[in-house]
Structure 1
Amino acid sequence: MKAIMKAKPGPGFVFTEVERPSSLGPRDVLVKVRRASICGTDVHIYKWDEWSQSRITPPLIVGHEMAGEVVAVGEAVTRVKIGDLVAAETHIPCEGCYQCRTGRMHVCKNLKILGVDTNGIFAEYAVIPESVLWRFSPEIPLDYASVMEPFGNAVHTVSVTNLLGKAVLITGAGPIGLMAIQIAKVAGASVVIVSEVDPLRIQMAKENGADYVINPLENDLVREVYKIVDDGVDVLFEMSGNRKAFEDGLKCVTMGGEVSILGIFGGRIEVNIDSLITMRGLTVYGITGRRMFETWRIADELLRTKKVDLSKVVTHVLPFNEWEKGLELMISKKCGKVVLNLDL
């Protein structure tokens, strides 16, 4: 079968032929991958940055965001059957640790990640544990089902607090930030403000329903937010991974407000916790992954009922063999989500 691999240490991937999986463990499922979307994590592995060098052991089939069809199941599989359309939760839990046994599998103590710690889904077929498969509603197009994993990040980030009638600030309008705009509006936010510097993403934020979009390189974010909302925003969703955006975002939150952090800063950052968080009584949530499988249920319903329109976020659908073009788009940030079609 055809697959995209990190064949050896160093920058780049290879598009190659590998053996199609021929054996399954008792709880494994063989999935024919029909759509696969490219994630920022895949870009990190492609570039072979410091994080990748410390985490990835080549050779490895990469990729983790997918929609596919079940074509074979292990002897102990009970949750899916041949012919089911499925997406994959990429956090593979051990199912036995304290976190797993208390409803927090997404932060499993022994967590493995699909396409990072195990072979991933940038291939015509993939072996995936049944424990992480989600049967998505047939009304959801495959292109959008393939991005349910990052969409779930946005759902998780937004849904940790009640947004009914709340003013929201989103720092960073990458694909997940764009999804969060729509989700926040569905959840009842009274006003959604977005901070973003990239021209394309500024335009996409407007198209996804942001009430205000502020470029902090051109205008002071804090001053502009307080012009819009006298008391500051009730909730901050940090999606940028940028220290200055986070610090300014905190300054925009009203006393006693809430902060949900999904952005990855890539190392230590300095903020004055005393003055910006503790003495202002802010509640801060750290977000990783998706709550399994509460978040998936919400995500499925939002897409099934068309409450969220991912055509405003998925900007490119390319044939599988044009994966290099997809990566170039991601690296240049001249895109939203990029989906690879393995049916072509």
Structure 2
Amino acid sequence: MLAIRKTSMAAGLSMENVEQPKELAPNEVLVKVKKASICGSDVHIYKWDKWAQSHIRPPMTIGHEFAGVVEAVGEAVDTVKVGDYVAAESHIPCQNCYQCRTGRMHICKDMKILGVDIDGAFAQYIKVPQVILWKVSKEIPEEYASVMEPFGNAVHATLVEDLTGKTVLITGVGPIGAMAIQVAKAAGASLVIASEIREYRKQLAKINGADVVIDPSCQDLEKEVVKLTNGEGVDVVIEMSGNVQALLDGLKCVTRGGAVSILGVYSKNVEIPIDEFVTFKGLKVYGITGRKMFETWRTADQLLKSKKVDLSKVVTHVIPFQDWQKGFELMIKGDCGKIVMEIS
């Protein structure tokens, strides 16, 4: 089968012919991959930056966002059957630790990551444990099912608070930030403000329904937010950028007693005046990783099935598998939303 592989400890990837998985453990499932989506972490692996160097051990197949059809099942598999339409959680839980045993598999103590710790989804077939599979509603097109994993990030980060009638600031409008705009609107937010500096992504914010888009590189974000909220500040900040200044600005913009949901990942230590920005404001701060398994998946599935969220406004490119290099180039350039590869 064809697969996109990291074969050496250097920049770049290669498409190779490799042996299709054959032997299945009792709890494993073989999935024929139909669509797969490129994630920012895949770009890190392509570039072979510090994160990739500390996490990836070549040779291996990368990729973790996909949708497909069950091809074969191990003898103990009882949650899916051959022919089922599935997507997958990228977090592979141990199912034995304290977190797993208390309904929090998404923060498993001994977690492995698909396409990072084991062979991933940029291949015509993938072998995965049954515990990570989600049966997708048939009404959801494959290209949108393939991005349910990052969509789940948006759902989890956005819905930590009841947003009915609330004002919301989303800092950073990459694909997940764009998804979060739609989720916030679907959840009943009264005002959704997006903060973004890149021109393409400012347009992405508008297309996905942001009421106001502010460029903090040329506007005073705090001043504009205060003006838009009658002097109060927003009820909820959703930090998607991983930019330290965006986080600090968000903390300034949130009202007293408000909430801050942090999905962004920072490449360096963040210094925050906790007393002034958090404690004395009485804020709730949520750290977001992954998706609740499988509460978030149920919500994501229903939002897409009912068309309350339209991912055609986020999936900007669908390309043949053989054109994977073009997909990575678009991702590096940044003038794109989600890029989906047609595998089979």
| TM-score bracket for this pair, using the shorter chain length | over 0.9
Return the offset for 1:342: 1.1
Cα distance in 1 for partners of 2:343, 2:249 equals 42
**Equivalent residues in 2 for 1:266-305, closer than 5 Å:** 266-305=267-306
Residues 87-140 of structure 1, C-alpha deviation per residue, up to 9 Å, x if partnerless? Answer: 000000010110000000000010000000000000000001100000000000
| Structure 2 counterpart of 1:115 | 115
5+ residue gaps, structure 1, are none
Which amino acid in the other structure matches residue 156 of structure 2?
Answer: H
In structure 2, what is the equivalent of residue 10 of structure 1?
10
Counterpart check, 1:185 vs 2:185: yes
Superposed CA offset, 1:253-286 (max 9, x none): 0001000000001221112111111111110000
User: What SS class does the counterpart of residue 291 from structure 1 fall into?
Assistant: coil
- Structure 2, unpaired ranges of 5+: none
Give the aligned residue type for 2:256. Answer: M
Q: Following the alignment from structure 1 to structure 2, what is the Cα–Cα distance between the partners of residues 266 and 310?
A: 29
Q: Distance in 1 between matches of 2:340 and 2:131?
A: 24
Aligned length: 343
Cα deviation for residue 8 of structure 1 reads 1.1
1:194-209 matches, cutoff 5 A: 194-209=194-209
2:83 counterpart residue number: 83
Q: Which residue of 2 aligns with 1:148?
A: 148
CA distance in 1, matches of 2:247, 2:268: 14
TM-score normalized by the length of structure 1? 0.99
Q: Which amino acid aligns with 1:342?
A: I
> What's the CA shift string for 1:28-61, capped at 9, x where partnerless?
0000000000000000011111111111111010
State the partner residue of 2:102. Answer: 102
Question: Aligned partners of 1:260, 1:73: CA distance in 2, in Å?
Answer: 38
Any residues of structure 2 matched to 1:1-344 within 5 Å, and which?
A: 1-229=1-229, 230-343=231-344
Distance 1:266 1:73 in 2: 40
AA aligned opposite 2:117 = D
Identity among equivalent pairs (%):
63
What are the Cα deviations for residues 122-174 of structure 1, in whole angstroms up to 9, with x where unaligned? 00000011000000000000000000000000000011111011000000000
SS in 2 for 1:280: coil
Structure-1 separation of matches of 2:100 and 2:227? 45
Query: Helix, strand or coil for the counterpart of 1:289?
Result: coil
Aligned partner of 1:259: which letter?
V
**Distance (whole Å) between structure 2 residues aligned to residue 152 and residue 183 of structure 1:** 10
Which residue identity does 1:29 align to in structure 2? V
1:156 maps to amino acid: H
Secondary structure, in 3 states, of the residue corresponding to 1:192?
strand
The amino acid across from 2:202 in the alignment is I
What amino acid maps onto 2:248 in structure 1?
Answer: E
Q: Deviations over 1:269-313 (max 9, x none)?
A: 112111111111110000000000000000000000000000000
AA in 2 matched with 1:98: Y
Return the alpha-carbon distance in structure 1 between the equivalents of residues 225 and 255 of structure 2: 11
TM-score (norm 2): 0.99
